[in-house]
Amino acid sequence: MPSLILKPGREKSVLRRHPWIFSGAVQRVDGEIVSGGTVDVLSSKGDFLARASYSPQSQIRARVWTFDDEPVDKDFFRRQIKSAIHARDTWHLTPDTSALRLIYAESDGIPGLIVDRYADVLVLQSLTAGSEYWKETIADILLEETGLQTIYERSDVDVRELEGLSPQVGFLRGTISNSRITISEYGLKFIVDVEHGHKTGFYLDQRVNRRRVGRLARDRDVLNCFCYTGGFTVHALAGGAKSVASADSSADALALGRENVSLNGLPESEWIEADVFQLLRKFRDQNRSFDMIVLDPPKFASTVAQVEKAARGYKDINLLAFKLLRPNGILVTFSCSGGVDAYLFQKIVAGAALDAGADAQIIERLSQSPDHPVALNFPEGTYLKGLVCLKR
């Protein structure tokens, strides 16, 4: 087995069971090794620390498969996959919810691998050289363990470039004639387009928060900003909202949103193709107001360097939202930027309320749904945070 030897004193993070080994911590690599292949990670004194996948081109030079001296083979991946699926069976899968994340990469002990289930179709995203190396083996195990026949690959994310991997999309196993799949989420139906949709097709991380919004929306005039295919819209309408206006810059997403509303037999609602930053200003100038506003923008900061710019973006939309809210109005505001932590996000929202002249309180804190767990040894798995604020 080839080995990766760490510099003296650089074994601390591996000993704390953090799965990433940065290039700066590596003294040298001994033996023949291929991209994504398995290496033993050794301390400078030669002690075994972990077994990992090797990413020759990435700053994250290796990602740990196991901290034990055990083989990394098909049986190993079967155990990891079974345990991730079992956790969902035990805790999250309900008869009225047919879409969920089965495998969430590092948090489920399989760095670089994301697998989402949409009814009878699995969508796989491989992000690293290591997950790529084992992809075919993993695909076989996924079918064996779920009893399903179809896996669609959506490895078309930018981070693959950092690993020297090109984008890959298409059927990995089986095939279906239509890339639009109907799923249910707490009994509500959604069409998910696994081929053309964002990410793997749907924002599963917001599932529990969509239900929460549905329960808070009764008799309210709701504005759903960055609505994508209408997830919060459908839940709000089903929860008895008086009206819902939904805005997004993507015409395709809005078209699917309309379909999702009618699929559930819910009343027609307003769909607005617009840049939310401009739309909120227009509504302010028109004196339009709402009883509830949802802000679920895309990631503004992927890296720490982008945090300041991201903070300005969050402040801007939250300030405008506070202005558009009526007294006793509810703001449900999210950030999915990993670089902006919950404390900073709260400070930004507080600054926005202050500048808007709004007196508001946090009545609930929200997070990513439980099928996106955070391993305690991998805090980087935390990214989605939300605040439910009541304007007084």
- Catalog residues that contact ligand SAH under the rule CB under 6 A: 203, 206, 210, 226-229, 231-232, 248-250, 253, 275-277, 296, 298
Beta strands in 210-299 (DSSP E): 221-225, 243-248, 270-273, 290-295
DSSP code of residue 377: T
**Is 336 assigned a catalytic role?**
yes
Q: Which residue is nearest to ligand SAH (CB)?
A: 231
> Rounded distance, CA 37 to CA 14, Å?
19
**Smallest gap from residue 230 Cβ to ligand SAH (A):** 7
Q: Which amino acid is at 190?
A: F
Helix (H) or strand (E) holding 53: strand 48-54
Helices (H), 36-185: 74-91, 129-133, 135-146, 159-162
Which residue in 76, 73, 50 sits closest to 62, CA to CA?
50
Q: Which is nearer to ligand SAH, 65 or 226 (CB)?
A: 226
Sheet holding 99-104, edge to edge: 99-104, 113-118, 121-126, 150-155, 168-173
For 340-366, b/e burial (b = at least 16 CB within 10 A) is bbeebbbebbbebbeebebebeeeeeb
> Could you give phi then psi for residue 103, rounded to 5 degrees?
-135, 125
The C-alpha torsion from 138 through 5 and 381 to 310, rounded to 10°, is: -120
Q: Which is nearer to ligand SAH, 3 or 302 (CB)?
A: 302
> Could you give phi then psi for residue 108, rounded to 5 degrees?
-110, 15
Q: Name residue 173's beta-bridge partners.
A: 151
Q: Which is nearer to ligand SAH, 228 or 345 (CB)?
A: 228
> Rounded distance, CA 203 to CA 194, Å?
12
> In angstroms, how far is CA 104 from the centroid of its own chain?
9
Reduced to 3 states, what is the DSSP secondary structure of residue 152?
Answer: strand
**Smallest gap from residue 203 Cβ to ligand SAH (A):** 4
Q: Is the dihedral of CA 351, 352, 356, 357 positive or negative?
A: negative
**Smallest gap from residue 202 Cβ to ligand SAH (A):** 6
Q: Which is nearer to ligand SAH, 134 or 228 (CB)?
A: 228
Q: Which amino acid is at 3?
A: S
> Rounded distance, CA 106 to CA 374, Å?
9
> Rounded distance, CA 89 to CA 69, Å?
29
> Rounded distance, CA 48 to CA 372, Å?
30
**Smallest gap from residue 340 Cβ to ligand SAH (A):** 15
User: Of these residues, 225, 227, 336, 389, which one is catalytic?
Assistant: 336
Active site residues: 336
